[in-house]
Amino acid sequence: MAFWWPGSSPACTFNWRRQETRTSEHRVQLVVPGSCEGSQEASVGTGTFRFHCPACWEQELCIHLQDAPEEQLKVPLSALPSGQVVRLVFPTSQEPLMREELKKEAGLRELAMRLGFGPCAEEQAFLSRRKQVVAAALRQALQLDGDLQEDEIPVVAIMATGGGIRAMTSLYGQLAGLKELGLLDCVSYITGASGSTWALANLSEDPEWSQKDLAGPTELLKTQVTKNKLGVLALSQLQRYRQELAERARLGYPSCFTNLWALINEALLHDEPHDHKLSDQREALSHGQNPLPIYCALNTKGQSLTTLEFGEWCEFSPYEVGFPKYGAFIPSELFGSEFFMGQLMKRLPDSRICCLEGIWSNLYAANLQESLYWASEPSQFWDCWVRNQANLDKEQVPLLKIEVPPSTAGRIAEFFTDLLTWRPLAQATHNFLRGLHFHKDYFQHPHFSTWKATTLDGLPNQLTPSEPHLCLLDVGYLLNTSCLPLLQPTRDVDLILSLDYNLHGAFQQLQLLGRFCQEQGIPFPPISPSPEEQLQPRECHTFSDPTCPGAPAVLHFPLVSDSFREYLAPGVRRTPEEAAAGEVNLSSSDYPYHYTKVTYSQEDVDKLLHLTHYNVCNNQEQLLEALRQRRPH
């Protein structure tokens, strides 16, 4: 069954020749209504003009004098034979008549994007290489005799939630724990959302990161997490942000507050700007040496609907960026460039990774503009930041409706007013789906995932391909999870290690995900913890559904401090002198790990790293049993 209209991607090229007459000084406009290019000007002599327009429309070429638009010549495109010169006489009120020569040539039909619902060829090749690494790791971890056949190797994935610095730090600790157990090489995918994407992006700068001791990257993390952040709003930094924002605008990127948040966030996490790009991470996958990272965002309708009323999952990998819902993907280095009907219209430079991190974590930009607009100095900014962020508690899954920024501006905001004033707080990226046209039976396609809370999916003219820009947001505006890419049936994931960094309810987000999957018809095990587990969650919980072969098993690691209070390491009890190090404040109203915190004390970051490392290592047997159960026999 077709999903996209097969003729939705041609271009027509017109070779134009205008004979010189007494009316030659008049400029002529050529227009194909609905085309990407709009109107183009022609004068005496020859010229080449290209229009991109859907072949399924009955289009016409409109020719009129620029200073007399009422005098038009309309030529149906279907009436122009390709490759042949057609002579036209343009009747005008002036003498003599204007005479034109026109030759239509079909443009390239090859797309600059991939249309399809399965993994791309590069991802499939990676999985083939990764399976050899996974097989060796499983053989050692499970103490198996003999080699594993390809169909005996399970697809294991890590799903990390968001949570700011807390999520980034915790993911480092848990990955180090899996590395210590020899199980990190059993993992084929790692998905991240919001703060956990920062950890993934940092680690993936090293092509061999998972094959090395993670102590070095962890020490670097500690340095960045504990450093003073006041300098990110120093005058020199504000000037640098402004310069880069202006340069991006000059190149053709839409301006929005997310771009500013991206630069501020980079300064929070790094001492110097990083030139690393998402496409550079392919080197870390070249021989299957690391899990494939997938970063998640949510595409919305900006000001018109809340995220519960309309949202589409967008995934970013080193290979591709795209929408599983539509089966449309582009190479990651082309994200941000201008497309029309699948054709690359204007290629923009590949963005630095910080620009994407700004999108993946732009929940924090929700109050950035207000903090900037009211603050006249850095201390005022941070006071406002904490106050506003506290009102937007991510743990409660806020609904977003884009608001217009206030008109009153402090001195900090004055650096950016000519670039950002009065722009709504919506992320804006050139829409690579723009101009694509659905097949008439798209709604019946088995892979088209409808959004149950909206009627828009039945109205193709109101869906994303009709929009000039994407509005990509932090997935925390809907669900604090990065699991959706792993639930694509074509990826066939067997086991998901759910790393949950929420502090309000150990199962809340996983249960919301389960409800979402049930509504959308996505195979997923029921998440039904007992009342005892709800009251006293353990370090690790298993959820599976033997009656649903398509559903993955889920090994859920909530962020809790259970036996860690009493044990320094698995089987090693704490001495009275070590007891204080086992007390991790995760529940009180003044806890040090709130997602608005951008600086941790050395003690707090050490405790969180040790806790998350311990919680993984202390559940080695449960991890091994899950691997045994999910290994096809």
Catalytic residues: 194, 474
> Closest Cα partner for 166 from 596, 617, 619, 556?
596
- The rounded distance, in Å, linking the Cα atoms of 360 and 472 is 8
Q: Note whether 561 and 538 are within 8 A (CB).
A: no
Instruction: Tell me how far CA of residue 359 lies from CA of 218, 227, 367, 391, in angstroms.
Output: 24, 24, 14, 21
Find the distance separating the first CA and the last CA of the chain, reported in whole Å: 34
- The rounded distance, in Å, linking the Cα atoms of 28 and 42 is 5
Instruction: Tell me how far CA of residue 244 lies from CA of 248, 261, 264, 271, in angstroms.
Output: 6, 12, 12, 17
Owner of token pair 């507050």: 257
Residue 240 neighbours by CB under 8 Å, 6+ apart: 263, 273
> Closest Cα partner for 204 from 277, 289, 283, 281?
281
- The rounded distance, in Å, linking the Cα atoms of 208 and 304 is 44
Distance from chain centroid for Cα 32: 34
- The rounded distance, in Å, linking the Cα atoms of 483 and 481 is 6
Q: Which two tokens stand for residue 284?
A: 């870390």
Which amino acid, residue 147?
D
Q: Note whether 170 and 499 are within 8 A (CB).
A: yes
Q: Which two tokens stand for residue 539?
A: 């370090």
Owner of token pair 């587990």: 533
- The rounded distance, in Å, linking the Cα atoms of 532 and 513 is 21
Instruction: Tell me how far CA of residue 264 lies from CA of 56, 130, 269, 493, in angstroms.
Output: 46, 36, 9, 36
Mark out the alpha helices in 113-256 (DSSP H runs): 121-141, 164-180, 195-203, 215-226, 235-251
- The rounded distance, in Å, linking the Cα atoms of 95 and 196 is 71
Q: Write down how long the chain is.
A: 633
**Dihedral over Cα of 45, 51, 55, 58: its sign:** negative
Q: Which two tokens stand for residue 530?
A: 């007992």
Give the chain's radius of gyration (CA, Å): 28
Distance from chain centroid for Cα 291: 18
Q: Which two tokens stand for residue 117?
A: 């619902």
- The rounded distance, in Å, linking the Cα atoms of 249 and 251 is 5
Which amino acid, residue 392?
L
Beta strands in 277-375 (DSSP E): 292-299, 312-316, 320-323, 328-331, 338-340, 343-346
Q: Note whether 133 and 289 are within 8 A (CB).
A: yes
Helix (H/G/I), strand (E/B), else coil: 218 = helix
